Structure 1
């Protein structure tokens, strides 16, 4: 069953990558450098917080059991 999830995730990841790479310049929105910097910082911090929460999960589960 776990293999199904890996295959599904990989397939969806490939679809998203193909859609993103197939964009033309006219499909992209022109944004300022300040906004791009803010967006990149936000994504890094959000990813770190989600990773922290994911790593913290087993310990919280142990408290409930």
Structure 2
């Protein structure tokens, strides 16, 4: 399973240096959306994004922190 890294780019930047394994890009996207939604709900972050990177192919996609489910 590929490892994905979820970098938080906002007022402060937090780089994910551990990553998490997911079956595919769709599972990683779902995780990024859930993470963004939780961040907005819990700490009120509305500016920024989660940039998802695959260890094999590099950057994949970006999820805005204003995402809502």
Q: TM-score, normalised by structure 2?
A: 0.33
* Structure ID, larger Rg: 1
Higher relative contact order (CA 8 A, sep 6+): 2
**Greater per-residue helix proportion:** 1
